[in-house]
Chains A and B, each alone.
Chain A
């Protein structure tokens, strides 16, 4: 008798692990990446959603950017991917191409996801081969964030915008006046923007090669770096004190290039006030490098069995004023014009700055059209650039032109190989 009782009890215990979802309730899972600020507001918004839609229960999972893509891939491999996932421009082609994402057309057509207030160009940015696999959460621009107190201490005023050359000059003056070091941006984002300045792009439109052929574009980026080392304002590699990329404006730098929606996260990470400056184009640029990028996307996974509920959730995160009262501009400037109008009067100071910056960049002559989503080999190209760039930073390269040409050749080689697979 005792044994049977024990068996029953353990059975009950086992069943206890399986959650009791009531018959009418649909449970969907949602996954996103971000900083702590974003996790807090998104969880609050999800709670609001469940209040409004009591028949849908949302289980949330989140991760930082670095862990996100291995976590998501692992879930896809195991067939346990959530119903709603955050997607990025750099991965969209890869995930859509492998059949992970669901076609959103039926939900656009039925109005389950309302796109009537969004610009067509925004909706189009989530399309691969004309099929919408993802809907942008908002639009963003890549700008400089700087410490106004440092600029002031150097006795300078920050202009509305300036050229790359003027910025280099300013770095020198700030260093002489205050001793503050900074950095010449040598990341792949600067490569992309420099190429865009001269009519190219990081990749060509067909995605078959790099979008530029002139090694001098890379040489000028590295020359600025070396100039900074000579003049003293470039912090040499390995002398930084920052523990993460969220606090490097405390002691190491006074400027950083980030996406507009990240302003609050970097301010709280660094614990100081930050202001924004448009991306610095080269003085001889043919066109502005700045583009409006879908900051991130929401997608429904193809294998989800609760796509309808997932669409309701996405619609909430795209079109519901209640949602945006909580999350504000955390996922960038919303694509719905109604939501933008709803938010306008109540924006906090940060968000007003972001809105003003995006309005400024939207003016004729301040931005140019966005490129195609990054190619599948982008991760490899990113790593490769890191290696070539590191060699320059360690002072191992004498002939910058040859070094730049070697990078271009090797990158094109990698892209060709990745296409033949």
Chain B
């Protein structure tokens, strides 16, 4: 029998031991639940008792009976469609400003990133809720200038945009990635362009923008996926209201699965969303050959 030390000394074994925590975590928290939920999507699982196989009933109910299903789907779709482009442009703009090295930029970079650090946190959502409350600071400013107080949180036509505003405000992480990409554009390109008499606007559109398209592509996919999975702001700030106008898909799913104990139905909803996100991601990938520029390909 070999000694423990001999076994441990083998390089391969040591490697496996080091990655083991990750592998275990991956299986326990991702892979197994992933396939379990696929199975549960075809059952009537109610959390409290054993699941029964019911075929495609959950999906039938989703598409044809649940009046909130398509409602929440389109709200989420609209949310993503509006938030993602604005957020990307906004974070790119801020990144451009912060790319210039002055003494204060370090402080600003950190300051702009803070909302994203707290992105998922309850505190930010509640702060936002108070800011836009009927007697909150925003309305105080509006009334101070002689305006009429707006019911931001209770107007089905407005509330979704308040939540979109919160999403855009948390632009820090995509901004940081843009910033890194902008910094990576070789200075020699700029110098050459300046010699040729190109101004800052021309340089942005002819050099910076093409050079950072791969990063733009990355951010676009990331933000699209994130927007489709949006949950916190609606759940914490509006609870899906008013009149279900901010009932995101993920919130509807949560209500079904965890409030009404319809875990099977919730799983089916989750799998449908996975397919939708997959389709959008594939679409963005397909389109990438038309607008993403990779230096290495030398096109």
A98–B52 CA distance with the chains assembled, in angstroms: 13
Given contacts A240-B134, A241-B135, A387-B244, contact A98 B5 (CB under 8 A): no
B188 lies within 8 A of chain A by Cβ: no
A 229-245 contacts with B by CB, 8 A = 237-241, 243
Q: Which of the four size classes fits the interface of chain A? A: 20 to 34
Given contacts A70-B259, A238-B134, A241-B134, contact A98 B49 (CB under 8 A): yes
| Contact residue among B133, B241, B255 (Cβ-Cβ distance under 8 Å from A241) | B133
- A188 vs chain B, min Cβ distance (A): 15
- A376 vs chain B, min Cβ distance (A): 9
Given contacts A3-B5, A390-B243, contact A73 B47 (CB under 8 A): yes
Does B48 contact A73, Cβ atoms closer than 8 Å? yes
A383–B262 CA distance with the chains assembled, in angstroms: 15
| Contact residue among A76, A387, A421 (Cβ-Cβ distance under 8 Å from B47) | A76
A283 lies within 8 A of chain B by Cβ: no
A369–B167 CA distance with the chains assembled, in angstroms: 51
B242 lies within 8 A of chain A by Cβ: yes
Contact pattern, B 1-30, Cβ under 8 Å of A = 1, otherwise 0: 000110010000000000000000000000
Contact pattern, A 78-93, Cβ under 8 Å of B = 1, otherwise 0: 0000000000000000
Contact pattern, A 374-390, Cβ under 8 Å of B = 1, otherwise 0: 00000110010001001
| Contact residue among B134, B155, B243, B255 (Cβ-Cβ distance under 8 Å from A239) | B134
Given contacts A380-B260, A394-B242, contact A238 B47 (CB under 8 A): no
| Contact residue among A4, A100, A394 (Cβ-Cβ distance under 8 Å from B48) | A100
B 219-248 contacts with A by CB, 8 A = 241-244
Closest chain A residue, CB of each to CB of B258: A70
Does A379 contact B244, Cβ atoms closer than 8 Å? no
Contact partners of A239 in chain B: CB under 8 A: 134-135, 151
Contact partners of A95 in chain B: CB under 8 A: 48
B213 lies within 8 A of chain A by Cβ: no
- A11 vs chain B, min Cβ distance (A): 12
| Contact residue among B133, B134, B243 (Cβ-Cβ distance under 8 Å from A394) | B243
Does B151 contact A391, Cβ atoms closer than 8 Å? no
Contact partners of A380 in chain B: CB under 8 A: 260
B270 lies within 8 A of chain A by Cβ: no
A278–B155 CA distance with the chains assembled, in angstroms: 35
Contact partners of B153 in chain A: CB under 8 A: 238
- A383 vs chain B, min Cβ distance (A): 8
A406 lies within 8 A of chain B by Cβ: no
Contact partners of A70 in chain B: CB under 8 A: 258-259
A238–B134 CA distance with the chains assembled, in angstroms: 7
- B290 vs chain A, min Cβ distance (A): 44
In the A-B complex, the 8 residue pairs with the closest CB atoms:
A238-B154, A98-B48, A238-B151, A70-B258, A98-B49, A73-B47, A77-B47, A239-B134
- Contacts A76-B47, A383-B255 given; 8 further ones with Cβ under 8 A? A4-B4, A70-B259, A77-B48, A238-B151, A238-B154, A239-B151, A379-B260, A387-B243
**What are 7 sample pairs from A and B whose C-beta atoms fall under 8 A apart?**
A70-B258, A77-B263, A238-B154, A238-B242, A379-B259, A379-B260, A387-B244
Using a CB–CB distance below 8 Å, which chain A residues touch chain B?
Answer: 3-4, 7, 69-70, 73-74, 76-77, 94-95, 98-100, 237-241, 243, 379-380, 383, 387, 390-391, 394, 396, 421
